[in-house]
Structure formats: structure tokens, C-alpha cells
Chain A
Amino acid sequence: MARVLIVEDEPSLLKFLSQNLALRGYDVVAAADGQQGLAQARSASPDLILLDLMLPGFSGWDVLKQLAREGILERTPVIVVTAASREEDEQRARMLGATDYLVKPFGVPEMLSRIRALLPAPFGS
């Protein structure tokens, strides 16, 4: 089963992402801040990471840099999920090693298509 790590500090959005993915058969691991997310990325060895950028304290940018430094980015794709819609933010995220960039707000179909482009659908469909 494909495992997805979601790093998102906003409880409503965390709920939205995790419940939708869980309903569609993904194994979901959730983290509410950067430190937690980093710890999960190390220990839970996810197949995909959904990462919010604006996190309290240890931000998404820091997480991205740390993942790159530890070599996790080489084997795990990261989709940045953020409300920061500026082009330079996207460029910077991609430069730091993010695979895709998803701007909030978005609907379920868009999210699924982005994830399916990187992960095989869990039910083989």
C-alpha cells in the first residue's frame, strides 16, 4: 500500500487531505509541524510527501532543505501544498528539490491527478 506523509499545520486542511486519501486506499501518516514531519519522513519511509510551506517554527522550506541534505528527496517525491501563489516561490521550491507545486485552494480531482502522476493508484485502477 502506498504511504503518504502529510505535513500540514492547519487542522481543517489536514483533515481534508488525510480523510480523502485514506478513503481512496492510501496509507496516511500525518504531521502538524515541521519537526514532526521530518521525524516521520525519516522513520515512516513514505512513498510521497505532501508538504505545506507556512509552518510554525521549523518551516516547510527548512523541511525541504533538510530532506535534501539527508538524501530522502532522492527516493521520495515531494508535492508542495501551499497558499503562496507567487511564481518565485514555486521556482524556489522546485530548485530546492520539490517535485510538484500545488497552490491552495484546490479540489479533490486536481489533488488526485497530481498524486497519481507520481504514485500508482493503490487499488490498481
Chain B
Amino acid sequence: MAVREQQRQLVMTADPALAWVRLVFVALVGVVVLFIGTHGPSPLLVWGVLTIVAAYAAADCFLGLYRRFRWLLTRRVYAAIDLALITFLVAITGGSSSPLYMLYSLPLAVTVLTQGARAGALYCMAVSVLYGAVGAAGSPTHSMVWVAHLGIFWGLYLLLAYVTYAEETREEKARRRDELGAMHSAATAPVHTGDIPTVVERILTGALGATHSCWVAIFLYEETDDRFVTRYSLALDDHDGDVRQEQVQVYASDVLYTVLYTGTPMAICDVHSDRRLKDSVIRREHVRAALVLPLATGDRRIGVLCFGRAETHRFSQHEMRFSETLAKQAAVAIHTAVLFEEAASIEAAKEADKLRAQLLATVSHELRTPIAAIQGFASSLRCADGLDIPKEMEQDWICEIESNAERLRRLVTDLLDLSRLEAGALRMNFEWQDLHDILEELRPNLEILAGSRKLVVQVQPSLPLVRCDAERVGQVLTNLLENAAKFSPPDSMIVVGAERHEGGVKVGVLDEGQGVPPEFRERVFERFYQVEDGSPGRQHGTGLGLAICKNIIEAHGGRIWVESSAGQGSIFYFTLPSPSTRN
């Protein structure tokens, strides 16, 4: 009910220019008629009046049909004035024989085309009565002409009514199809993905065509601390068939909030002259009429749906009902998408918990293994009473305890490094460095790690300086070389090379080992991931070396990867970008 009231109020404030045109016209006709009354009719005057009235009627038709000021032109009081005016003119210009009777057909055309066939029939009857009265009051000899005139008049009406009816049926069909399309796109929006922007876009695209709108928008709100905040907004702007998307900012004073709070739709016939819309996002150059509907499911208010039209428009009951149904459907779709999104985030949190638990289990396993060896050998030494244990075996056990303690120490250090790297808590000491110097300094260490393997260092001359933490880059190189040595046969060759790469430096460590199978090339950089090929000696590392390398290189803005072909050895590369190419 409130909607109807709002509509009525807004109708009153519509564009007054046309009303002035009509008023001036009526005054003009009055003057002319007064003139005829005092000077007696002359054919020139009659034709002059006829021309003015015809021009008026043509303008009436044109504005009414093409500018769609229907609500103004077709108000019954104006129709009655037109009718009375024409009848008066007919009466003073010869009664039923006057050619001015044809003027009736112009308002008839307007009435039938804008108000439909039924209103047209009513109009025809009114004309018949009035014209009949004029005819009866005039000379009875003209009765045959009079009947013929009315026959032509009704014939015209029937023709117009038929055309309108056919047109209306066609329009109705098209409208139903559009409306069904809009409902369909709202109902089949992919809510299960929890992707709210896609759902909103889908609903808006469907609504844009079905409602003759040039601008449609959805604002989704979230209630926090008794206050609504915009969670997401999307508008589709149809600029002569070119649909653009925009994100719109809604201010707290916007009338949209009224619709959201009260939960009642609002129809605005003329946006530009409505004071309530002064700061509203709806108030934009090309939007003249608007419909604002709340989006709510049950008690939960989730947002607002807006339709904007390019011309002032009085929304029909059918349009209101359809829009409200569409808004309900849209609200359900969006709410479902929101629920799916929430469910997905809970799922993700669970998944993270599971991963954390898994990691903890792995870490505990990795820590227990060296502890088990230490405890085992220590208790072996303690419980050796009565057994004849060779001296070398005892020595070997002591060595085992030592090396496992060392492994445990490395594991703890690596774990700490990695967790600090991942938390971003490990501060990098960035300085301008020449990779040539870093490699030269590390060379003795690398030689030791390479053992019996032949180490070749190839550095391109005049490498660009890079900003890096020399100690950490050294750690990466050491780790890579350790790996290379571990997985390649003695007497093979290990090459460490560095070259210019996209303004920075690319470093490669090549070995002639068994290579990394393609399916493991990404995963070798994960923690505790070791290629399961059943080869002996896989157990020397902590399983954290490459994960640490990856984190260090990424902290430098670089990239680390492995290229390999099974059995042909592998090359681990990493890049250190120069600061200018780093984003």
C-alpha cells in the first residue's frame, strides 16, 4: 500500500513543461473561439483553428507515443477537456456536417494506443453521444452524413483496436519470455560455488533485459554492530547496448538504507526531481525512473536491488509484482551462495587444521627416529653385561650415537629456520653482492662437500650485482651441492654455474646422478618430501633442505626449480632478480 502512496506523490512532481504547453494551447483556442463568437464564422478562421488543433493533436500524439509522458497525457480530465473542446468547435463550425469532426480521431488514436482498446471504446461512446447531440441539434437533413461520419469513426476505432491488440499480444509474449529468462537466470545461478560476484552478475544480466532497465544494481550489506556496511556492490550500465560493470560506493545517508531498514520497496517516477534522492547512487545522468527493492530471506536482510529506467515511468502493478518476485528469487540465490561460501571457509579451516596435524605427526616421526637410534645404542652399551661384544662394534655404536645426535641438531636447526622463514620472521641481511665473490668464498666448503666428485665452477664474467643476503644464498648453494653429491655417483662431475638473467642472475647446480622423475619436480621442494625410489642412502638429509632453499630464494623475490631427465642427472636453478625487475 505504501508503494501506491509513494507513486502518487511522485507523479505529482513530474515534468511540468508539457502541462504548460497544453494550458497555453487551451487559452489560445479559447481566444479564437471568442473571436469567432463575436465576428461570426468565416472559412479562413475555421481552417486556421483547424490547423492549430491539428498541430496540437499531432504534438499530443508524438509526445504521448514517443516520449512516453503517458501518465500526463492520458489523464481522464485532459481527455474530457479535449473532447469538449472539439465538440464545441464542431458545433460552431456547422454541426454534424463540419469536417472538424475528424479531429475526434486524433485523441481516439492516442487513447487506444496508450490506454488500450477498452478505454478506446469508452471514448468512442462518449463521442457518439456528444456528436449525436450536436447532429440532432443541427439540421436533421444531414442525418445520413452524420450516420456515415459515425460509421467511419467506429471503423477507425476497430482498426486501431485490432492493431493495438495484436501489438499488445506480441509485447506480452516478449515480456513473459524476458521475465521468465530473468527468473531462470536468478534460479539457476551457480550458488553452490559460493562465488557471490558470479551469482550477482548472473542475476543482474537477466534482470537488465527483462525490466526495460538501463541500469541495474545490487548492493549487498552485512550487519555489524547494529550497522550495515557494504559488503559487495555491482551495477550493470547499459549504455546504448554496451553493458559495463561498475562498483558503486553507497553513503550512509542514501535512501537505499531506508529500503533496507523498512523492507518495503520504493518506486520513483522521476529521479531528478525527487529530493530524497539527492545523495543517492541512483541519481545519475541517464536514470529517470527507479525501483528499489529489498533483498531479504526470512529475517535476514542482505541487500538492495535497484532498477533504473531512462525515462520517467509509472511502474505498473504487474511490474511491481514481477520485480518483487525477482528480488525474492535473487535474495534466495545470493543467500545460498553466502552460506556455501561460509561452509567453504569452514572447510578450508578444517583442511588447514588437518595439514597442521599431519605436519606435526611427520615432525614428531622425524625427531623420534634419531632419538630412537641414540637411545637404542646407548641402552645397547649399558645392557652389554655377559655378552662378548667386539671393541670395534662398541666404537661403532658410539659413532652412531654421535652422528644421530648431530642429525637431531641439524633437524632442529632446519626446523627453526624453516618456521622462521615461513613466518617471515627471519630477517634477511640484504646487501649489494657479486655472486662471483660469494662462490669464491664458498669454494673450499663446496669442494669438501663434493668429496671425490669433480667440482667445476663456471661464472659468466661481469655479472650484475644483486641485492641479497650472502650467508643465506651460501646456505642455498651448500644445500644444493650437498644434494647433488648425495644423489650422484663418486667420480662424476658437479657443475656450479652463474649467468646473467633478465637483469639479475641465474645460478644452476648440475649433477650426473639419477635425476628427478617429472612427477616429483614440484614436490621435492615440499618439507620432508623425498623421492621414493627405494634407493639406499636416501636417509641422510633432514628432508627440509630444499624447502628452506625455496623459502630463502622466494624471500629474495627469485624462483627455484629443477630440470631433469631420469637417469641423466638434474640441474637445480635459482634466480636472484635485480631490485629494478622485482615488483
Give the residues in chain B near A109, CB-CB below 8 Å.
379, 383
Whether A84 is near chain B, meaning CB under 8 Å from some CB there, is yes
Question: In the complex, are the beta carbons of A105 and B371 less than 8 A apart?
Answer: yes
Which residue of chain A has the shortest Cβ distance to B396 in the bound complex?
Answer: A15
Centre residue among A12, A20, A23, A105 by max chain B CB count within 10 A: A12
The stretch from B211-219, B329-337, B533-541 touching chain A is B533-541
User: Measured between C-beta atoms, what is the minimum distance from B358 to chain A in Å?
Assistant: 12
Q: Given A10-B373, A24-B387, does the pair A108, B379 have CB atoms closer than 8 Å?
A: yes
Instruction: Contact check, B383 vs A107: say whether CB atoms are below 8 A apart.
Output: yes
Known contacts: A16-B380, A19-B380, A84-B361. The answer to whether A35 contacts B534 by CB under 8 A is yes
The number of residue pairs between A and B whose CB atoms lie closer than 8 Å in the complex comes to: 81
In the complex, the answer to whether A23 meets B534 with C-beta atoms within 8 Å is no
Judging by beta carbons under 8 Å apart, are B376 and A105 in contact? yes
**Chain A residue contacts of B397, Cβ below 8 A:** 16
Confirm or deny: A57 has a beta carbon within 8 angstroms of a beta carbon on chain B: yes
Chain B interface size, as a band, is 20 to 34
Interface residue B400 (Cβ < 8 Å from any Cβ of A): yes
A86 contacts the other chain (Cβ, under 8 Å)? Answer: yes
> CB of A121 within 8 A of chain B?
no
**Chain-A contact segment, one of B180-188, B268-276, B362-370:** B362-370
The answer to whether B380 and A83 touch across the interface, beta carbons within 8 angstroms, is: no
Whether B534 pairs with A57 at a CB distance below 8 angstroms is yes
* B530 contacts A by Cβ under 8 Å: yes
Contact indicator A104/B369 (Cβ below 8 Å): yes
Q: Is the CB of B534 within 8 A of A20?
A: no
B538 contacts which chain A residues (CB < 8 A)?
Answer: 56
Q: Is A54 an interface residue (CB 8 A)?
A: yes
Chain A residues closer than 8 Å to B374, beta-carbon distance: 105
Nearest CB of A to B466, in Å: 38
Chain A residue with Cβ nearest B404: A12
Nearest residue in A to B390 (C-beta to C-beta)?
A23
A13 lies within 8 A of chain B by Cβ: yes
User: What separation, in Å, do the CA atoms of A56 and B428 have in the docked complex?
Assistant: 36
Quick one: closest B residue to A36, CB to CB? B534
Q: Which of B370, B375, B376, B530 has the most CB of A within 10 A?
A: B376
Contact partners of B368 in chain A: CB under 8 A:
83, 85, 104-105
Known: A19-B380, A106-B376, A108-B380. A10 touches B539 (CB 8 A): yes
Q: Which of B330-371 contact A (CB under 8 A)?
A: 361, 364-365, 368-371
Q: How far is the CA of A9 from the CA of B387 in the complex (A)?
A: 27
A113 to B: closest C-beta gap in Å: 12
Verify A15–B379 contact, CB threshold 8 A: no
A107 in complex: contacting residue of B375, B404, B533, CB < 8 Å: B375
Q: Is A124 on the interface with B (CB-CB < 8 A)?
A: no
Chain B residue at minimal CB-CB distance from A83? B368
CB-based nearest B residue for A84: B365
CA distance A32 to B533 in the complex (A): 12
Is there an interface contact between A12 and B387, defined as CB atoms closer than 8 Å?
no
Shortest CB–CB separation between residue B91 and chain A, in angstroms? 105
**Closest Cβ–Cβ distance, residue B255 to chain A (whole Å):** 60
Asked if A71 lies at the interface with its beta carbon under 8 angstroms from chain B, I say: no
CB pair B376 A16 closer than 8 Å: yes
Binary interface encoding of chain A residues 63-76 relative to chain B, with 1 for a CB under 8 A from any of its CBs, else 0: 00000000000000
**B522-545, CB < 8 A from A:** 530, 532-534, 536, 538-539
Q: Which residues of A contact B383 (CB under 8 A)?
A: 107-109
Give Cα A78 to B521, complex, Å. Answer: 37
Whole-angstrom distance between the Cβ of B543 and the nearest chain A Cβ: 12
Q: In the bound complex, what is the Cα–Cα distance between A107 and B455 (angstroms)?
A: 43
What CA separation (Å) do A10 and B540 show in the bound complex? 10
Name the contact of A32 in the complex, choosing from B373, B377, B536 (C-beta under 8 A): B536
**A57-B532 contact, Cβ under 8 Å, with A16-B376, A107-B379:** yes
Chain B residues, CB < 8 A from A54: 365
Contact present for A83 and B372 (CB under 8 Å): yes
Point out the residue from B361, B373, B532, B534 that lies within 8 Å of A16, measured CB to CB.
Answer: B373
Question: Using a CB-CB cutoff of 8 Å, which residues 36-85 of chain A contact chain B?
Answer: 54, 56-57, 83-85
- 16 A-B residue pairs with Cβ-Cβ distance under 8 Å, sorted by A, are A10-B373, A11-B536, A11-B539, A16-B373, A16-B380, A17-B376, A35-B534, A57-B533, A84-B361, A104-B371, A105-B373, A106-B372, A107-B376, A107-B379, A109-B379, A109-B383
Interface residues, chain A, with chain B CB atoms under 8 Å away: 9-13, 15-17, 19-20, 23-24, 32-33, 35, 54, 56-57, 83-86, 104-109
5 new A-B pairs (CB below 8 Å) besides A85-B364, A109-B383?
A: A13-B372, A23-B387, A83-B364, A83-B372, A107-B376
The 10 closest A-B pairs by CB, nearest first: A107-B379, A104-B372, A105-B372, A83-B368, A12-B373, A16-B376, A105-B375, A56-B532, A108-B383, A83-B365
